[in-house]
């Protein structure tokens, strides 16, 4: 057992019973939060970290990222900014590059992106497959993902590979591909969208995944209205992600469910598309998470602070709602209660900001405000 006193915290956000504590201390014991309160409490500990009045928040939980890929789509991005619409078809470009890449190339790329995310305060990240789309390439994508996170998601149903019959492909995903990937995955996901998989195909795939012990999550209602969100609720999926084009019935269904609405404003930013109506969701009582959707085509950012700034400025979330969504909301979207907050007993995953308050995350967009990041009480990033 090792213990650590973090003291002289200017503003501590716990998302727990203590709420926000000004001039705080926090004690870590054996990787967990053991005590939270005023800075005058100075117990003897093995180590001590004086953060000199900085703000401390729970580490970000990025519950939606596609990190196992090769190649770049910067040219496609430039074309889109010059007026070409986003259709999702560019996924196939990344599939070709990913299949051609060595394990080592893929691993190095994931490592680079995870390190980038950590430096921006992320302590838990979900990683999806979905750029292999063969049995062998999906299995190796997930095998590599497990080297970096326990939150791995089988997304064989990202898009139907070129030259493949859609029904044949759904059978492959539900059969041989699921068999080869289930040992490396915690979750199963489907891109339910016109041009990708319809709601019946999505239901078949998510049910097959559930039969293999995988929890359900879904890309739903990103580009068009549809039945994806209601399918998520029907199946008690942990999360419906994107939620950009929702009907009133979709919002109500989410509000009456355990399914989290995970908003990915980096995607709307990078595709110059209308943002989801976060206010309608929050005002209806839906649990809202924020995540990066980091991927090379439609949202190539690992920055949760950037997503918070977008959520506040573009989606009219309050800074409090945005921080909660990026931490506790992400944890809910992964059905985790040990992360996303700093209550006693939680994992000591926390981010020290080079700012007096978490408000600066939205107030000072684009500025690298992360000072120190601890996971399980151990530093993973230091100044």
Binding site for Zn ion (CB under 5 A): 293
* Separation CA 139–CA 136 (nearest Å): 5
Contact present, 153 and 188 (Cβ < 8 Å): yes
- Which CB, 137 or 293, lies closer to Zn ion? 293
Q: Closer to Zn ion by CB, 14 or 129: give it.
A: 129
Q: Which residues contact 165 (CB under 8 A, 6 or more apart)?
A: none
Question: Which of 26/192 has CB closer to Zn ion?
Answer: 192
CB of 64 to Zn ion, least distance (A): 6
Tokens of 190: 């489907």
Q: Give whichever of 257 and 292 is closer to Zn ion, judged by the CB atom.
A: 292
Q: Min. distance of Cβ 243 from Zn ion in angstroms?
A: 12
Q: Least CB distance from residue 293 to Zn ion, whole Å?
A: 5
Please say which residue, 129 or 372, places its beta carbon nearer to Zn ion.
129
- Minimal distance, residue 98 CB to Zn ion, in Å: 15
3-state SS record for 102-122? CHHHHHHHHHHHHHHHHHCCE
- Work out how close the CB of 43 gets to Zn ion at its nearest, in angstroms, rounded to a whole number: 44
- Decide whether 63 or 372 has the Cβ nearer to Zn ion: 63
Least distance CB 284 / Zn ion (angstroms): 23
Tally: H helices and E strands in the chain: 15, 17
Of 77 and 358, the one with the shorter C-beta distance to Zn ion is 77
Number of residues that make up the chain: 383
- Which phi and psi angles does 11 have, rounded to 5°? -150, 120
The shares of helix, strand and coil residues in the chain, as percent rounded to the nearest 5, are: 35, 25, 40
Cβ nearer to Zn ion, comparing 11 with 293: 293
Measure the CA–CA gap between 348 and 378, rounded to whole angstroms: 8
Other CB atoms within 10 Å distance of the CB of residue 245: 19
Q: Which two tokens stand for residue 81?
A: 């900014």
Please state the closest distance from residue 311 (CB atom) to Zn ion, in A.
17
Question: Cβ 295 to Zn ion, closest distance in Å?
Answer: 6
- Residue sitting closest to Zn ion (CB): 293
CA separation for the pair 121, 358 (Å, rounded): 12
Q: How far is the CB of 291 from Zn ion (least distance, A)?
A: 9
Q: ∠ CA 125-260-294 to the nearest 5 degrees?
A: 35
Nearer to Zn ion, 244 or 287 (CB): 244
Contact in structure between 121 and 382 (CB atoms under 8 Å): no
Strands (E), the chain: 3-13, 20-29, 32-38, 47-50, 55-58, 60-62, 122-125, 127-128, 152-157, 187-192, 215-220, 239-242, 260-263, 288-290, 350-353, 370-375, 378-381
Nearer to Zn ion, 56 or 61 (CB): 61
Nearest approach in angstroms of CB 92 to Zn ion is 15
Q: Which residue has the tokens 């979905």?
A: 130
Compute the radius of gyration of the chain from its Cα atoms: 20
CA distances from 102 to 94, 146, 319 (A): 14, 17, 42
């Amino acid at each position: 057992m090792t213990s650590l006193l973090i003291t002289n915290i200017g503003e501590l956000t716990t998302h727990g019973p203590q709420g926000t504590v000004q001039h705080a201390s926090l004690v870590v014991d054996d990787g967990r939060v053991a005590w939270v309160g005023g800075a005058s409490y100075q117990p003897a500990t093995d180590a001590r970290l004086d953060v000199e009045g900085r703000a401390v928040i729970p580490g970000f939980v990025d519950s939606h990222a596609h990190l196992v890929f090769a190649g770049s789509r910067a040219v496609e991005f430039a074309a889109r900014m010059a007026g070409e619409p986003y259709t999702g078809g560019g996924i196939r470009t990344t599939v070709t590059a990913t299949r051609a890449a060595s394990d080592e190339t893929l691993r190095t790329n994931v490592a680079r992106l995870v390190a980038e995310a950590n430096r921006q305060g992320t302590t838990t990240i979900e990683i999806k497959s979905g750029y292999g789309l063969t049995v062998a390439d999906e299995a190796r994508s997930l095998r590599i993902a497990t080297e970096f996170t326990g939150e791995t998601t089988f997304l064989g149903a990202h898009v139907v590979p070129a030259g493949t019959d859609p029904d044949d492909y759904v059978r492959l995903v539900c059969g041989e591909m699921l068999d080869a990937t289930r040992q490396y995955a915690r979750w199963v996901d489907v891109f339910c969208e016109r041009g990708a998989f319809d709601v019946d195909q999505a239901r078949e795939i998510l049910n097959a995944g559930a039969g293999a012990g995988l929890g359900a999550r879904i890309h739903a209602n990103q580009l068009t209205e549809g039945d994806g969100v209601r399918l998520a609720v029907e199946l008690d999926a942990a999360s419906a992600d994107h939620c950009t084009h929702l009907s009133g019935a979709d919002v109500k269904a989410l509000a009456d469910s355990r399914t989290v609405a995970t908003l990915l404003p980096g995607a709307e930013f990078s595709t110059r598309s209308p943002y989801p109506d976060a206010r309608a969701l929050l005002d209806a009582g839906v649990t809202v998470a924020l995540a990066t959707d980091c991927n090379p085509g439609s949202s190539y950012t690992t920055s949760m602070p950037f997503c918070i700034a977008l959520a506040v400025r573009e989606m009219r979330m309050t800074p409090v709602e945005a921080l909660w969504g990026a931490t506790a909301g992400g944890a809910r979207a992964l059905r985790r209660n040990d992360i996303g907050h700093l209550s006693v007993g939680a994992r000591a995953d926390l981010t020290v900001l080079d700012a007096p308050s978490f408000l600066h995350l939205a107030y000072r967009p684009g500025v690298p405000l992360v000072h120190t990041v601890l996971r399980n009480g151990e530093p993973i990033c230091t100044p």
